[in-house]
Amino acid sequence: MSLPIRNVAIIAHVDHGKTTLVDALLKQSGVFREGEEIPDCVMDSNTLERERGITILSKNTAVRYKDILINIVDTPGHADFGGEVERVLGMVDGCILIVDANEGPMPQTRFVLKKALEKGLRPIVVVNKIDRPRANPDTAVDKVFDLFVELGADDDQCDFNTLYASGLDGYAKEELEAEGINMEPLFEAIIHHVPPPAGDVEKPLQLQVTTLDYSEYLGRIVIGRIHNGTIKAGQQAALYKDDGSIVKTKVSKLLGFEGLARVELKEASAGNLVAVAGFADANIGETITCPDDPQALPLIAVDEPTLQMTFSINDSPFAGQEGKFVTSRQLRDRLWRELETNVALRVEETDTAEKFLVSGRGELHLGILIETMRREGYEFQVSQPQVIYREVSGQPCEPFEYLVLDVPEASVGSCIERLGQRKGTMQDMQTATNGRTQLEFVIPARGLIGFRGEFLRLTRGEGIMNHSFLEYRPLSGDVETRYNGVMVAFEEGTSTFYALKNAEDRGVFFITPGTKVYKGMIVGEHNRPQDLDLNVCKTKQLTNHRAATGDELVQLQSPVDMSLERALEYIGSDELVEVTPESIRLRKLSKKLAKR
């Protein structure tokens, strides 16, 4: 007898409408009461997710349709958060692949879809945003089929079910010419094309931990899927640790998912997704099992990090002025605490107590960690991101990325030239009828460090750039990523309009008049290859004479706004980013100015 449960993951590239489509499913399933205020992007509950419009942490919700409980797992669309993807795909039996009707499958789609196909999941393809003016659903479906073949999908997976939808308008339909009414066709597709969960209720309990949460009342909460057996509130259970040890404990609370809320359960059996309290020492990948017959499930395999940087305590002249947590012990404790939930992260101690080597999937992965810590009140500094080299078959290799650019026709030549200098190899070029061109490259990961800001300048802010990890390949030689030097303040003080105006022809500034600076702080980009020491605190000498230009309005050029991601991409090997709850500053590595 099949269980009245369906466990399904939603896969999509960034900004292809995944979260909006989930909103429509929730609204039409009766989760919200009549008259209740319904928020947008309800699954993106994290503050950073709402600000950036992306999914960072995987989350799950549940809806009921015709007495069948549908557990929906929302996965991140960015390859940098692949650690989230890999662990939650083990919780589901099927997946919904959402692609934009205009863009088709994109690099991040490729990454997550490959993981899903490797696990044997059979996707339901939803072509979203068909109400857009330039939508081309048929071409999008053809591209999806080509991608399935390229990723090695079997015949059954290639024979996918296709729906056409508009998450914003809240409808899905099986035929493109049919009228869209509601999301019922998608609910029906889930019921008929996603198999019920496998698992034997009679076998000993096996529940794999895939996500960790925390409650002030219950302590650590583990979330996962029951693969076999039954779990009851208050029962004795055992935690099978990754080192082979077994810790016996008690299930203090058992929770299930219903809409956006967690509901208390007395019992749950194989196939269910549940949250369990009482396992204070549990880590991701470990198994909650029967104490009389403990049996562990295989640990979750996660791809290794490709990028690393050094986190260290802030030793600038402004150290300790803005942060709440500033010591090496506090920094160490916070990084080790992050390891409990962030399975794709690695932290190593160095030969000094003030520095830690942190490795992750990419700049965005590490950037989100830095931004989160900064908002929590931590003050520290980080070095330039460096790729992690590996030895494959006795040969030194480096990570390569698959890069897709969508650029105006006028910018094609300059983008190809600049990526060629960064050791990029063009794989394909397609020109659309709207005057834009799609370029595909394979490029070393270190060739992409610092390219985003340059790309925005080359395309005047009109370009779209996406990339994902491809594979490790032999070293590609030297890659030059920055051509200009920096302007460095050589004394401590407050920058003045007069000094910045006089040096305006030397380059572009990152600061405004009135900014406090110190010796060694980077204040702008020089328009020549070498660094320039600059006095930005110089004031105008006052006299009795009135200047002839005294009544003229003098304006400064707009400074470059150095966001955290831009700063991480920009800095060189002899530079650091100083991160505090209030400021992002760039500085030279040592207090004495480093000369190139």
Report the DSSP pairing between strands 395-408 and 390-392: antiparallel
Query: Roughly what angle, to the nearest 10 degrees, separates helices 107-118 and 137-150?
Result: 50
Burial class of residue 4 in the structure, from the number of CB atoms within 10 Å of its CB (0-12 exposed, 13-18 middle, 19+ buried): middle
The reply to whether 27 sits in an annotated binding site is: no
Q: In angstroms, rounded to a whole number, what is the distance separating the alpha carbons of residues 155 and 148?
A: 10
- Which residues have CB under 8 Å from 110's CB, separation 6+? 147, 151, 402, 468
The reply to whether 131 sits in an annotated binding site is: yes
Query: First vs last Cα of the chain: how many Å apart?
Result: 72
Q: Could you tell me the two tokens for 11? A: 């896969």
The reply to whether 303 sits in an annotated binding site is: no
The one-letter code for the residue type at 217 is Y
The reply to whether 543 sits in an annotated binding site is: no
Q: In angstroms, rounded to a whole number, what is the distance separating the alpha carbons of residues 452 and 250?
A: 50
Q: In angstroms, rounded to a whole number, what is the distance separating the alpha carbons of residues 342 and 364?
A: 14
The reply to whether 20 sits in an annotated binding site is: yes
The reply to whether 19 sits in an annotated binding site is: yes
Q: Are 185 and 200 in contact (CB under 8 A)?
A: no
The reply to whether 130 sits in an annotated binding site is: yes
The reply to whether 533 sits in an annotated binding site is: no
Largest CA distance in the chain: 97
For the chain, counts of helices (H) and of strands (E) = 14, 35
φ/ψ of 88, rounded to 5, equals: -85, -20
The reply to whether 351 sits in an annotated binding site is: no
Q: In angstroms, rounded to a whole number, what is the distance separating the alpha carbons of residues 387 and 241?
A: 31
Sign of dihedral through CA atoms 456, 459, 462, 466? Answer: negative
Q: In angstroms, rounded to a whole number, what is the distance separating the alpha carbons of residues 493 and 521?
A: 11
Report the DSSP pairing between strands 161-166 and 123-128: parallel
The reply to whether 66 sits in an annotated binding site is: no
The one-letter code for the residue type at 363 is E
The Cβ of residue 476 has, within 10 Å, a number of other Cβ atoms equal to 17
What residue numbers does the annotated binding site cover?
15-20, 128-131
What residue numbers does the annotated binding site for GTP cover?
15-20, 128-131
